Amino acid sequence: MKKKLNPSRKERLAVILLSLLFIFVAIAAVIKFVVRAPSPAVDTTDPADAVQEDQTDEPTGSEVSSPDARKEYCYTILVSGLDDDNGGSDTNILVRFDAVGKSIDLVSLPRDTLLNHEWASNKLNFAYAKGGTELLRTEIENLLGIPVDFYVTVNLKGFIALVDQIGGVDFDVPVDMDYDDPYQDLHIHYKKGLQHLNGQQAMEVVRWRKNNDGVGYATADIGRIETQQAFLTQVAKQLLKIDNVPAMAQVFFKYVKTDLTVGNLVWLGTEALGMGMDAVSFHTLPGDGTGYYRKESVYVLDPEATLTLVNEALNPYNEPITLEDMDILVP
């Protein structure tokens, strides 16, 4: 015969069950609140209600009249590697993360890309030196006609620490490298071929541009970009193997600056892991690295080819952008 619970025991059991229910609901609420998809800024103003101060003004490609104009769960993220010694953004990659389309496109923006300005230098990497991340974002938006939703920046120390944290990377060095810069205490000496690189060595390999005798990549900065993309591919494969996530996160937040929240990063990371390496594609803005503007060597974009690439790999809108949305200067 089963024993009946006395009223006090029933009450305690009810309290325990209610407490557990409250804890589960609270945990679910926290996860839902913290781990969430990013929310890019959107101008929801009805164009019909807007006051037009100048009827001749045309909207740019980075303006959004309503949330419906954008693809769902599709974001653009600017990833910049900062050159600590020269104060510029030495490496810039614009990423389109399309969670619905299951694709991650990374488009390298050559550091010498010509901007339509009359600055002391009209190169893209000078924009960061002149006005930091915000100016760099604005210039990229104007150049390509699309918004830059979020940013991630990492300096040289951070790059070294992040590579060391994943245990280094096996990488096929594309050419013999023999370069010395006493001013930066930078010495790069590697033989062509597969080798295991720690953080310091990896930094040296991806920064290399030419040897002491002036011989560099046959395609100049594009060759350097190709090396960086190949290296990032190996890093991505290595990241899929890491088991010490807390330690990786600690290094990340020590050296990396971003306007994405922790919850955003967890959401993006979870989505990326679900896609796998097959979803990742690398590209480079098409152009000519032998151009000159105001006696300065620059990388001049090919407008038509750039438009095609932007619409295929970067555009977060439902509708394609046009050349009129861009601000590409061709001397």
Contact in structure between 314 and 284 (CB atoms under 8 Å): no
* Tens digit of each residue's pLDDT (9 = 90 or more) over 204-252: 999 898 999 999 998 888 999 999 999 999 988 887 676 666 677 778 8
230 phi, psi to nearest 5 deg: -65, -40
Q: Is the pLDDT of residue 82 over 50?
A: yes
pLDDT in tens, 8-51: 655 555 555 555 544 444 444 444 445 678 888 754 433 333 33
| Residue 215 burial class via C-beta count within 10 angstroms: exposed 0-12, middle 13-18, buried 19 and up | exposed
Task: State pLDDT tens for residues 149-201.
Answer: 999 999 888 899 989 988 999 999 999 999 998 888 889 999 999 999 999 99
